[in-house]
Structure 1
Amino acid sequence: MAELRTAAWEALHQVIDPELDEPVTDLGFVRSLEVSEDGAVELHLRLPTSFCAPNFAYLMASDAKDVLRALPGVTGVVVELDDHHDSALINTGLATDAGYRDTFPGEADEDLEQLRATFRRKAHAAAMERVLTRLLKDRPELAEADLHAITVADLPDEAATRSLLNRRAAVGFGTGPDELVLVDDEGRPCSPEQVPFRLRFARATRISVEGNSHFCRGLLRTRYPDSAADQTPRAMSSEGRAS
């Protein structure tokens, strides 16, 4: 079952913390992963605090169950969230495939797809700002206002660009060579006059995402000292395994 365990671990790279925009594997959120000889998979997740938002927790755990269940050779999947104040509710909901709203009746005011869409837009804004800020540094002849006309074809073929294209696809934006890079949350292009505001907004989003990630990584290491060995630095995870 070594091959199936490797496949399961690779599949978990697809499970993204929606707020931090990083795989749960790189964040150190995977506490244990066991695969039996008959193909049964048991996964335990851990989070930085016992009071992390239950909607984020359920989304990650539910996504983990989905990607593991889709693997050839898997005969059953158990996913449990450990040491959370809502562990009992979440684990029961996961076991019965109840869904978030039925797991938290009367409390869930939006479904997981709405939540996912909100954070995908933030992830796209952050990735867009990283690429365009790097482009301004690498091409000093460009003025900030010139960014309104930059297309995908103008971007270098590197990991940060591929990460941006993945995030564009996730929010439903085009990824062809003629697509304008600097757009708002609805995919609308910016005029030269709008560039400074849009870039500042995207930069604030990126700083918030990266700051939250740094904070949560530290909290996890404090709560679970052994998790330090399981964490991959963001520079590697965001460029090497972008979702």
Structure 2
Amino acid sequence: MTATGTLAERAWQALSSVRDPELDQPITDLGFVLAATVRDGGVSVRLRLPTYFCAPNFAYLMVADAYDALIALPEFEWAEVRLTDHFAAEEINAGVAAREGFAGTFAGESLGELDDLRRTFRRKAHLACLERACRTLLDSGWQIDALAGTTLGDLPESAERDSLVRRRAELGLSTTPDSPLFVDDDGTPVSEEKLAARLRFAKTVRVSIDGNAGWCRGLLRTRYGEDVDAEPDVRVPRSRTQEEAS
């Protein structure tokens, strides 16, 4: 693998860590990354969304998170992330580039930063991951009332377990193997008598997230057609020296 190829892969891996705040899926999997180009010691990225009027707070979070993920890589001296085909793209692109925050980007229009919104969606993501993890246990024969005494260590190694642990860490909840599995948003264990109702609510949240993700994929495909299914343009342009050598 060439050094330039490695840089492109590192940029893509960083972008893969960025998630749509509402759908809790990587922007790379959702088709939101239109192009990523490594050049001149940095990386330039273009993002797109399912509709022209996607909520600006959601859009801002994804652009800002993508920038933060890329600029944190020591391989890059600079990063540029630009949103395209969106009614607030100009404001969002300029605000993220200037590191003004959401309140500074939409001065006079916002009520502040988006920390509370981000935490709300992280709590929903945690519930959805918890339901998926519990479903693996129930499908293998566990009874619902037994989940009250279950710990993280009782979960078998799986993608569902990894996702749940990651969401708990984001919320500041314990991730040790002896930690209770079924906890509320504050980390308090859910009692046996309340567990079934909480699990039903968690399933509702998970179904809603999955449904919204499918809806957004459909909107993106309707908007951009076959281009959505094509491989995104992720590359490192050849230098003049490389072109002359070939």
TM-score (structure 2 length as normaliser)? 0.89
RMSD between aligned residues: 1.4
Equivalent of residue 40 in structure 1, options 26, 39, 42: 42
- Gap runs ≥5 in structure 2: 233-246
State how far apart, in whole Å, the 2-side matches of 1:175 and 1:18 are: 22
Pair 1:149 & 2:123 matched: no
Residue deviations 1:106-148 (CA, integer Å, cap 9, x gap): 3222422222111111110000001112211102xx3212211
State how far apart, in whole Å, the 2-side matches of 1:19 and 1:106 are: 25
Name 1:59's counterpart in structure 2.
61
**8 Å CA contact 2:35, 2:47 repeated in 1:** yes
Pair 1:28 & 2:31 matched: yes
Pair 1:17 & 2:15 matched: no
Deviating more after overlay: 20-29 vs 67-76: 67-76
CA shift for structure 1 position 230: 4.8
CA shift for structure 1 position 40: 2.4
Residue deviations 1:172-229 (CA, integer Å, cap 9, x gap): 1111111111111111111111011110111111011100000001111111121123
**8 Å CA contact 1:42, 1:78 repeated in 2:** yes
State how far apart, in whole Å, the 1-side matches of 2:151 and 2:133 are: 12
Pair 1:92 & 2:101 matched: no
TM-score (structure 1 length as normaliser)? 0.90
CA shift for structure 1 position 170: 1.1
State how far apart, in whole Å, the 2-side matches of 1:110 and 1:93 are: 14
Residue deviations 1:39-77 (CA, integer Å, cap 9, x gap): 121110000001111011001101111111111231221
State how far apart, in whole Å, the 2-side matches of 1:19 and 1:110 are: 19
Name 1:178's counterpart in structure 2.
178
Work out the percentage of aligned pairs sharing the same amino acid: 50
**8 Å CA contact 2:52, 2:87 repeated in 1:** yes
Pair 1:163 & 2:166 matched: no
